[in-house]
Amino acid sequence: MASISDSETTNRGSMWELEQNLDQPMDEEATQLKNMYTEKKFSSILLLRLAFQSLGVVFGDLGTSPLYVFYNIFPHGVDEDEDVIGALSLIIYTLTLIPLMKYVFVVLRANDNGQGGTFALYSLLCRHAKVSTIPNQHKTDEELTTYSRQTYEENSLAAKVKRWLEGHAYKKNCLLILVLIGTCTAIGDGILTPAISVLSASGGIRVQNQNMSTDVVVIVAVVILIGLFCMQHYGTDKVGWLFAPLVLLWFILIGSVGVVNIHKYNNSVLKAYNPIYIFRYFKRGKSEIWTSLGGVMLSITGTEALYADLCHFPVLAIQIAFTLVVFPCLLLAYTGQAAYIIDHKDHVADAFYRSIPGTAVVIVMLVTTFLMVPVMLLVWKSHWILVVIFLVLSLTVELPYFTACINKVDQGGWVPLVIAITFFIIMYVWHFCTVKRYEFEMHSKVSMAWILGLGPSLGLVRVPGIGFVYTELASGVPHIFSHFITNLPAIHSVVVFVCVKYLPVYTVPVEERFIMKRIGPKNYHMFRCVARYGYKDIHKKDEDFEKMLLDRLLVFVRLESMMDGYSDSEDFTMMEQKAERSTRALLTEKAGSNTMSSIGDMSYSSQDSIMPAKSPLAGNSLTRYSSQTFGDEQEFLNRCKDAGVVHILGNTVVQARRDSGIVKKVAVNYVYAFLRKLCRENSVIFNVPHESLLNVGQIYYI
């Protein structure tokens, strides 16, 4: 009895060791993917061409802001010249501090491999600190060429900030909420800004015809907007080439008109370039002074587009276009308008068409400011004094504008806020239920030891064919698989667990997208594949996901056979050369033979590939053995592929518990359920044929 008990204890220990090794991240497989990414280099001529194109895509909103800024600053007319000069001084230094100094020279540098916007900042933070609320990060992700990150000294300020952010879950949630607020307000602003700009531009036709109805102006604006949006599908390149000459001509004209107005009407407005007039403007103490900041804020409408549209153009191209063309022309335009208004105080309403106050703009800027603080500390490793200077300067300008815009919420500023709140609720509910689904998958995953204990047949009939089992887990066996095999009497001869994973990078090169490894002994014919995507990767309709999986499986079997077939460094070099020719992916060199650890009558290698233990062979006999094994398994896989491929997808329905509150029930049972119906399923995204699809349903109560 004692010997039996010892044997059982040994077996349990061996199975535990087996499970631990099988659930390890695929480090070895990830390092075998060669770095294929090269940073883009731009010639001087190409940079100038891209800077020219950016005028037609990025700077439209900033360029049209002179149409309505002064009217919103002085909606009731102008009383004194000093008011115009003070407002102009505010506009000049707002344009200098926010678009030029903050965005063009600081924020644009905080890009994610050329990607800009709030999500780009968040992805940078997620790579440099464990702040993601979905804990699916693995070391294998860091092997990606687009997964750049910094390392820190133990006692550095960046390391302390990193530990502070990772310390509690509420800090991660607060960061996520901040990101969602920035994203949603940007959407709210983006919905209204084009309409405001076009409507303001169309209002100019009433200047010479005061009897024209407002309805005519609105109809003209609608026609223009429809035409503009119809052109979007032609792509950034064609749209940029079409509008860049027009926008460049526009900037030259408004700048030239500004110079003429300064010379013709009142060159005393040049005093506004002295910032002392800002102080005098506020010192006057009028009640309208503070609320006029909402109108000044409109002068930087579209600034966030400098950062959000970074994916289309390199940083230097946008810097060149703004510094050499946009910024000086805007200064001249506003200065010339101020000179005209001083001499024609009753023409403010005639010169500019009244617009909706665009409130969400300043909120997006505040969010960007707050997100830049951890980015400067963790990513750039900036000195804390520089961080404080950036924060103080940004908030000194933006907070007064924020308070001024709050006062205009009842005048139309509520529109983008309502849009932003609606999108925030949608995004937060989706994220909350997605996290709960992932936690359910993690807590209910099946022990690999239990699966292997069923034997090569898994306790079922292994029918010819290949079964792709989709899961959100990059390790372990998903619950849907145990649910499947306990309710059906058969399983396919080859089983591949497929994890589709989205990483905090903008793209994953195709050469590095798939990681494949074997789980279990070879006669189990079980594999795991992790398909990795970035947040900018698009699943093309003509993309054959099934074919890519099958090709990757055959390549893995071939490489695995070659790894097994060579034992010394000289033979391994030959293997690398063959792998390069056959797969166009270089394998990292590995000296010596694989370290084998015995578990019962099975053994596993350092590649986490479990295989029956064989007597050591050497030289040509080993090569012949491996080739024969590969040929047999490849033939077996081809037969299974010909027999049919089935995609097994888990359909997890999330519902609120009966004792949940009314808000949670509405959010989960109705809002999330409605969003799930609207979204495309994985079977549609990856073009899975309907006849090859098998859904396994389960309900999860949260």
DSSP assignment of 563-592 equals: HHH--SHHHHHHHHHHHHHHHS-PPPP--S
Q: Where does the pLDDT of residue 466 fall: very low under 50, low under 70, confident under 90, or very high at 90 and above?
A: very high
Is residue 516 situated within a structural domain? yes
Residue 525: how many CB atoms within 10 A of its CB? 20
Q: Which of 21-30, 134-143, 172-181, 446-455 has the highest mean pLDDT?
A: 172-181
pLDDT at res. 351: 43
Beta carbons of 128 and 162 less than 8 angstroms apart: yes
Tokens of 365: 């800027």
Q: Where does the pLDDT of residue 566 fall: very low under 50, low under 70, confident under 90, or very high at 90 and above?
A: low
Residues paired with residue 44 on neighbouring β-strands, in sequence order:
none
Query: If you average pLDDT over every residue of the chain, what do you get?
Result: 76
C-alpha to C-alpha distance for 280 and 299, rounded to whole angstroms = 20
Residues paired with residue 648 on neighbouring β-strands, in sequence order:
469, 694
H-run or E-run covering 414 = helix 414-443
Indicate whether 459 and 391 sit together in one domain. Answer: no
DSSP state of 271: G
For the chain, give the percent of residues with pLDDT over 70: 78
pLDDT at res. 472: 82
Beta carbons of 320 and 48 less than 8 angstroms apart: yes
Indicate whether 127 and 216 sit together in one domain. Answer: yes
Residue 331 pLDDT greater than 70, yes or no: yes
User: What total number of domains does the chain contain?
Assistant: 2
Q: Where does the pLDDT of residue 584 fall: very low under 50, low under 70, confident under 90, or very high at 90 and above?
A: very low
Q: What is the pTM of this model?
A: 0.69
pLDDT at res. 565: 57
Residue 591 pLDDT greater than 50, yes or no: no
Q: Which structural domain range is residue 376 located in?
A: 50-407
- Our CA angle for 51, 55, 61, nearest 5°, is 145
Beta carbons of 702 and 433 less than 8 angstroms apart: yes
Beta carbons of 69 and 326 less than 8 angstroms apart: no
- In this prediction, residues 452-473 reach a mean pLDDT of 81
- Cβ-proximal residues to 1 (8 Å cutoff; 6+ apart), any chain: none
Place of tokens 């969400």: 360
Mark which of 407, 429, 463 sits at the end of a domain.
407
Residues paired with residue 517 on neighbouring β-strands, in sequence order:
528
Residue 254 pLDDT greater than 90, yes or no: no
* Backbone torsions φ then ψ of 350, nearest 5 degrees: -75, -30
- In this prediction, residues 341-369 reach a mean pLDDT of 66
Taking only the tens place, the pLDDT of each residue in 635-681 is 888 888 888 888 888 777 888 988 888 989 999 999 988 888 887 77
Is residue 424 situated within a structural domain? no
Q: Where does the pLDDT of residue 283 fall: very low under 50, low under 70, confident under 90, or very high at 90 and above?
A: confident
Is residue 589 situated within a structural domain? no
- In this prediction, residues 182-206 reach a mean pLDDT of 74
Is residue 613 situated within a structural domain? no
pLDDT at res. 513: 86
Indicate whether 377 and 525 sit together in one domain. Answer: no
Tell which wins on pLDDT, 362 or 107.
Answer: 107
- In this prediction, residues 102-112 reach a mean pLDDT of 87
- Cβ-proximal residues to 105 (8 Å cutoff; 6+ apart), any chain: 319
Q: Is the dihedral of CA 123, 545, 587, 471 positive or negative?
A: positive
Indicate whether 236 and 142 sit together in one domain. Answer: yes
Residue 613 pLDDT greater than 60, yes or no: no
Q: Is the dihedral of CA 131, 135, 136, 141 positive or negative?
A: positive
Mark which of 354, 377, 407 sits at the end of a domain.
407
Residue 317 pLDDT greater than 50, yes or no: yes
Select from 116, 167, 122, 126 the least CA-distant residue to 427: 122
For the chain, give the percent of residues with pLDDT over 90: 7
What strands lie across the sheet with 610-612, from one edge to the other? 597-599, 602-604, 610-612
Is residue 628 situated within a structural domain? no
C-alpha to C-alpha distance for 149 and 378, rounded to whole angstroms = 9
Lowest mean pLDDT of 111-120, 139-148, 167-176, name the range. 139-148
Residue 242 pLDDT greater than 90, yes or no: no
Indicate whether 402 and 462 sit together in one domain. Answer: no
pLDDT at res. 92: 93
pLDDT at res. 420: 86
CA distances to 114, 225, 312 from 185, rounded to whole Å, are: 22, 21, 21
Indicate whether 461 and 369 sit together in one domain. Answer: no
Place of tokens 């919905």: 191
Indicate whether 466 and 402 sit together in one domain. Answer: no
pLDDT at res. 245: 86
Is residue 588 situated within a structural domain? no
Indicate whether 242 and 331 sit together in one domain. Answer: yes
pLDDT at res. 273: 92
DSSP per-residue letters across 530-545: EEEE-TT----TT--H
- In this prediction, residues 574-581 reach a mean pLDDT of 46
Tell which wins on pLDDT, 402 or 602.
Answer: 402
Residue 348 pLDDT greater than 70, yes or no: no
Q: Where does the pLDDT of residue 320 fall: very low under 50, low under 70, confident under 90, or very high at 90 and above?
A: very high
- In this prediction, residues 15-34 reach a mean pLDDT of 51
C-alpha to C-alpha distance for 653 and 664, rounded to whole angstroms = 15
| Helical axes 81-95 vs 276-283, angle rounded to 10° | 130
- Cβ-proximal residues to 674 (8 Å cutoff; 6+ apart), any chain: none
Is residue 265 situated within a structural domain? yes
Is residue 42 situated within a structural domain? no
Q: Where does the pLDDT of residue 579 fall: very low under 50, low under 70, confident under 90, or very high at 90 and above?
A: very low
Indicate whether 230 and 113 sit together in one domain. Answer: yes
Select from 485, 568, 559, 574 the least CA-distant residue to 516: 559
- Our CA angle for 504, 506, 510, nearest 5°, is 105
- In this prediction, residues 515-534 reach a mean pLDDT of 86
Mark which of 382, 407, 432 sits at the end of a domain.
407
Q: What CA dihedral angle connects 307, 310, 313 and 314, to 10 degrees?
A: 80
pLDDT at res. 564: 65
Q: Where does the pLDDT of residue 629 fall: very low under 50, low under 70, confident under 90, or very high at 90 and above?
A: low
Residue 611 pLDDT greater than 80, yes or no: no
Select from 100, 53, 63 the least CA-distant residue to 323: 100
Indicate whether 391 and 499 sit together in one domain. Answer: no
Burial class of residue 203 in the structure, from the number of CB atoms within 10 Å of its CB (0-12 exposed, 13-18 middle, 19+ buried):
buried
pLDDT at res. 592: 35
pLDDT at res. 595: 30
Tokens of 519: 């789980």
Indicate whether 403 and 458 sit together in one domain. Answer: no
Task: Kindly report the three-state secondary structure assignment for every residue of 100-169.
Answer: HHHHHCCHHHCCECCECCHHHHHHHHHHHCCCCCCCCCCHHHHHCCCCCCCCCCCCCHHHHHHHHHHCCH
Q: Where does the pLDDT of residue 66 fall: very low under 50, low under 70, confident under 90, or very high at 90 and above?
A: confident
pLDDT at res. 114: 77
Lowest mean pLDDT of 5-14, 58-67, 393-402, 514-523, name the range. 5-14
C-alpha to C-alpha distance for 144 and 507, rounded to whole angstroms = 10
Residue 434 pLDDT greater than 80, yes or no: yes
C-alpha to C-alpha distance for 239 and 123, rounded to whole angstroms = 29
pLDDT at res. 9: 43
Residue 536 pLDDT greater than 70, yes or no: yes
pLDDT at res. 606: 30
- Our CA angle for 385, 388, 394, nearest 5°, is 140
pLDDT at res. 514: 87
Place of tokens 């012949």: 624
Indicate whether 163 and 248 sit together in one domain. Answer: yes
Tokens of 154: 């133990």
Place of tokens 């607060």: 174
